[in-house]
Structure formats: structure tokens, C-alpha cells
Amino acid sequence: MQEYTDSSKSFIKMIVKWKFHFAVITIAALVFASLFSSPWFIKPKYKSFAVVYPANIKPYSTESETEQMLQLFRSADVRNDVIKKFHLSEHYSIDTTEKTGLGNLIATYENNVEINRTQFESIEIDVLDTDPVLASNMVNAIIHAMNLKARQLQRSKDHEVEVVIKDQLDLKKHNVDSIKGIMDEIRVKYQIFDYQMQVKEVTKSYLKALSGGHKDKLKEIEVMMHNLEEKGGEYYEMKKTLDALLKSYNLTQLEYDNVLKELNKELTYANVVTSPTPSYKKAYPIRWLIVLTSVLSANLFFFLILIIVENRNK
């Protein structure tokens, strides 16, 4: 305990002894920190932000809709679209023809753009820039580019489904046309239109001709009976197959129409809860924090030097 008291006394004595030096260092640190954190040396940056929730997004695996949207926002395509749209290489004064130019451009973009998930499963997009209007426009552009990317991925997926269903539809149509062609041939050649009804009618006509003595009609009826015996069963089975195929074809056609609707939809994939607006209150640099840190650092550095000097003298 006595040791800590002695240390405190020594500390206070040292501060009192060198108080003028500490005062000079504090003033100098204040002046230089204020100067070098001023707009003459550090251009102030303004922050614009937006908060969005996912909409119409279909996750590809076990990830949530928010995680899926976060991946889209952070994709290289979205980043490159924004960089290209606003000519950010010129705006950031970066020569992309140099070896490290592209890497520096991407690093600068990522330093100025932050996209993170919030605790409420929304996404917050923050953009810092020396131009407050540009910062706001960049947030809107990021949301727009994400919508285009999500729509492109969804349409690509739907197009694959559309190709598969279209192939099924064409195959079923070919089978329907083939069966219809055979049935048309049987109708023309054997005069069979409705197997079950014609069997009843021919039987009835045959019995009536026999009982009524209309033997002149028997030959015509017997020909029809022969046609029914030869091709009636085949026609009947084909009719059942055709009905089943038509039902399946109609269901596939309905499925195909739904896929085409999905392909032609102009959906958006972000519900904007907080829209970006230009902010004219600078967000960077925080001058008071820079000044405070500089003053404390300068005094601490001077204090460490004094300790070394005092110990050496002793």
C-alpha cells in the first residue's frame, strides 16, 4: 500500500515539475491535431444509408432470405455496376491501368461502403463520400443493382425449368398427334367414331334386321360388325390413351404458362424501410476524437520519456 502511495506522489511531483512542458505539448498537440484534421488536409465525408428487408427471394440452400440478399449485395457484379455507373476510379483519383490500381479501387470502395445484417434480420447499407448527394445516389444504385442481379439469377433458374417443361410439352404433343393420326385413319377406313355407342347401335340394328326380314341391310351391318371386331378394341384403347395424354398435356401446359409468367415478371427483391437521403452533417473525420487522441498520445509519450530520463539520472 505504501508502495502505491509513493508511486502516486512521485507521479504528481513529476507532473508539477514539468507542468509547463505538459502545457506546451498539450497546446501544440491541440493546434496540430486541429490543423491536420481540418478540411485542408482531410476531406470531410458524409454518410447516407438505407435499411431494407428481403422480398420475393428464394434461397438456394439452408440460408435465410436475409443471408441470400446480403450475398447479393456483396457480390462482385453489384460492386462493379456501381463503380462503373459513377466512374469511381476517377472520383477516387485511382489509376486502374497501374498494377495495383484495380485492387486499390476495390479496397477504397469497400472502405466507403458497408453492408451488414441488423439484429432485426434487415440489411443496412452505409455509404461514405465527400459528396453527400453522390453518397445517397450510390445507396440507391446498390439497391437497384441488387434487384437486377436477383432478377437475373431467378430468371436463369426459371429459364432452365422452362426448357425442361417445354421439352415435355413437345413430347406429349407429338404423342397426342401420333395417336390422333392413327384414330383418324381408323375413322376414315373403318367408319368407327364411338366404339361403345356403335356396338350397341349395330347390335340393335342387326337384331332388328333379322326379326324384320330386312336381309338387304344385313350385309352392310355385318361389314360394320366386322370393322368393330377388327379395329374397335384398338380404337377404344387409343381413345383412353388419348384422353389420359390430353389430361397430362393440359396440366403440363398450365405449368408451362406459370413458368412463362414468372419469367416475364418485373419483381423487386428489397422492401426499403428507410430510404437514403443526402446528409450534410459530416460523418468523417471526427475531429474532437482525433484531437483528444493526439493530446493524450503526445502527453503519454512525453511522460514515458520523463520516466526514462528520471530513472537514468537516479
Query: Cα 151 to the chain's mean position, in Å?
Result: 7
What is the predicted pLDDT for the residue at 229?
Answer: 62
pLDDT tens, N- to C-terminus, the chain (314 residues)? 444 455 566 667 766 766 777 777 777 777 776 666 556 555 778 889 999 999 877 766 677 888 889 999 999 999 999 999 999 998 888 888 888 889 999 999 999 999 999 888 899 999 998 888 999 999 999 999 999 998 888 888 888 888 888 999 899 888 888 888 877 777 667 666 665 565 556 556 655 655 655 555 655 656 666 665 666 667 677 788 888 888 998 998 898 888 888 777 777 888 888 888 887 777 666 666 666 777 788 777 777 777 777 666 66
What is the predicted pLDDT for the residue at 121?
Answer: 85
What is the predicted pLDDT for the residue at 1?
Answer: 47
What is the predicted pLDDT for the residue at 101?
Answer: 87
Residue at 275: amino acid letter: S
Place of cell 506522489: 9
Does any domain span residue 42?
Answer: no
Our count of domains for the chain comes to 1
What is the predicted pLDDT for the residue at 156?
Answer: 83
Does any domain span residue 215?
Answer: yes
- Threshold 0.75, pTM exceeds: no
CB atoms within 10 A of CB 137: 19
Structural domain boundaries, residue 241:
158-264
What is the predicted pLDDT for the residue at 2?
Answer: 46
Does any domain span residue 46?
Answer: no
Does any domain span residue 1?
Answer: no
The CA-atom distances, in angstroms, between 14 and each of 5, 18, 89, 306 are 14, 6, 53, 8
Does any domain span residue 173?
Answer: yes
What is the predicted pLDDT for the residue at 206?
Answer: 56
Does any domain span residue 205?
Answer: yes
Does any domain span residue 180?
Answer: yes
Does any domain span residue 242?
Answer: yes
